[in-house]
Amino acid sequence: MRKNRRLTLGVLFCLTLSQIVWPAATAQAQAADREYILGTAQTRDLTSEYSATGTVEREGVVESAFATPAMVKSVKVKVGDKVAKGDVLATQDSGGLEQKKLQAQAALAQAQAQLYSAEHPAAISMPSSSSSSSSSGSRVPAVPSTPSGTTVSSALMKTLLEGLAKLEAAGKAPATACAPAADGTVDDAACSKAVQDLTDAANAVTALQKQLGAKASAETPSAKTAKASANTSAPKVVKPKVSAAAVARAKAQVLRAQQDLDSAKADLKGATLRAAKAGVVASVGLTSGTMSNGSILVVSDDKTVNLTVDVPLSSRKQIEVGGKAKVKPLGSDREIEGVVKAISPLAVESTSPPAYPVTITVSDPDNLLYSGTPATVTLPLAQAKAAVAVPVSAFTPIDSTVGTVEVIGLDGTQVEIDVAYGIASNGWVEIKDGINPGDQVVLADPSLPLATG
């Protein structure tokens, strides 16, 4: 009986021990069987950065364009070419512009001739009283006279009248000779001849009028001779008055003609596009054989470029004017050092959260950054020297200052702890407390189900 009681107590003890030891052993075995991807907390120097893309804008850019749309005859440069001040960049077909200048010259000469006539009206010779009485009562036809009152020789007056007739006819010729044919072409030879004839006719009239004035001055009678002749039967000369209105109209025509000529000369000069400054060709928007249509050829003469990127408010607080920046050209691994030039106090419209334009200036002597092309800007925000850091995949943020990290204890179990954190950089997060260098942290747990949705 006593023996059976001992056996019963032994069985009960074993069962009780198994209930205590077996679950603990099972938990340890399960923990040991779990597969963790682990990382190690390290001491590192961290730099927080903000990156964005901006558009390159060169300082000292000179935009050159043809003033008048016309066919582009030739383009002399390509992107990357170095040019000196005055070098030819491109040319236009100047045939029509040359004709326009000749027409303007002829119109100016004609206007000047009309002004001379308005300022020096020809005098009229009238018959004397005696000659009038001896006639049948009719007036003698008016005979043109010089401005000084002397009678103009019939030969000189005839020549002047012929010249005026030629000028009138020549003034109508260019409109027909220079008009485009049905196929849009212009007979350059005929047009040039018509314009030249008009110019010659206007110049001839002007010369005759000046000759007329000079002859009149040479033949002006003395006061005594004039008084003696007043009693003779010679025709009386009546000098017409100068019309102020006619002179004003003629002067206005001369002014307009001169402006037209100046414009034509400028257009002809503008048919050759030249570099305003020495520099490097940054972009070409002209093609031979096509209309220029105001296309622009940009030439840069400066080694400095600017880029502007929009920076969110949270990062803007950590940027200062004069701070460093890194710029990487499109498609290149090379980084160029830059400097923060300006930070706008005004936020960009229609952005949430607010973002502020930050301008970066870069010295680019090798011309790696082309105007108008995109480039990546990287701005350092904050630094942490000799900071305790964990891989970012081991960290879960809760708010702006606190997060959690899972570590493996000495017994191999996984423990989640709260930590204070700082900046993040290149895949690492600064941990301000709660973690020591060398601690094992959990990066992933393959035994857990994957998140869905």
Q: Which residues contact 262 (CB under 8 A, 6 or more apart)?
A: none
Taking the CA atoms of residue 238, residue 239, residue 242 and residue 243 in that order, the dihedral angle to the nearest 10 degrees is 10
CATH code for the domain of 286: 2.40.50.100
222: three-class secondary structure by DSSP: coil
Q: Are residues 101 and 230 in the same domain?
A: yes
Domain check: are 349 and 374 in the same one? yes
* Residue 189 lies inside a defined structural domain of this protein: yes
253 backbone φψ class: left, alpha, beta (φ>0; ψ -120 to 50) = alpha
Burial of residue 416 (number of CB atoms within 10 Å: 0-12, 13-18, 19+): exposed
pLDDT of 144 strictly over 70: no
* Mean pLDDT confidence for 101-110: 80
Together in a domain, 87 and 100: no
Q: What is the DSSP letter of 275?
A: -
Q: Do 283 and 293 fall within a single domain? A: yes
Q: Residue 307: what pLDDT?
A: 92
Q: Is residue 18 part of a domain?
A: no
Read off the pLDDT of residues 416-425 as tens digits, 9 standing for 90 and up.
999 999 888 8
Average pLDDT over residues 230-255: 74
pLDDT of residue 221: 52
Query: What does the pLDDT look like over 270-296, one tens digit per residue?
Result: 888 888 888 888 788 888 888 877 666
- Assign 231 to helix, strand or coil: coil
Number of domains making up the chain: 3
Query: In this structure, are 137 and 227 located in the same domain?
Result: yes
Cβ within 8 Å of residue 242, ≥6 positions away: 118, 119, 120, 121
Taking Cα atoms as reference points, which of 123, 121, 118, 116 lies closest to residue 144? Answer: 123
The pTM is what? 0.41
pLDDT of amino acid 142: 39
Q: What is the pLDDT of residue 44?
A: 92
- With b for 16 or more beta-carbon neighbours within 10 A and e for fewer, the 353-390 pattern comes to eebbbbbbbbebeebbbbbeeebbbbbbbbebeebbbb
Q: Which residue range is the domain that position 189 belongs to? A: 95-244
Q: Are residues 239 and 108 in the same domain?
A: yes
Q: 124 with 240, same domain?
A: yes
In a domain, 288, yes or no: yes
| Tokens matching residue 189 | 């030879």
Instruction: Look at 277 and 351; give whichever has higher pLDDT.
Output: 277
One domain for residues 376 and 438: yes
Instruction: Please give the structure tokens belonging to residue 320.
Output: 């200062």
Residues 100 and 233 in one domain: yes
C-alpha distances (whole Å) from 419 to each of 384, 387, 389, 393, 402 are 17, 14, 11, 15, 6
450 lies in some domain: no
Q: Is residue 261 domain-resident?
A: no
Give the span between the Cα atoms of 131 and 124, in whole angstroms. 16
Q: Cα–Cα distance between 305 and 440 in angstroms, integer? A: 47
Pick the last residue of a domain from 244, 261, 281: 244
pLDDT in tens, 289-339: 888 776 666 766 667 889 999 999 888 888 889 999 999 988 888 899 999
**What CATH number does the domain containing 318 carry?**
2.40.30.170
User: pLDDT digits over 188-207, tens only?
Assistant: 777 778 777 877 877 777 77
pLDDT confidence band for 42 (50 / 70 / 90): very high
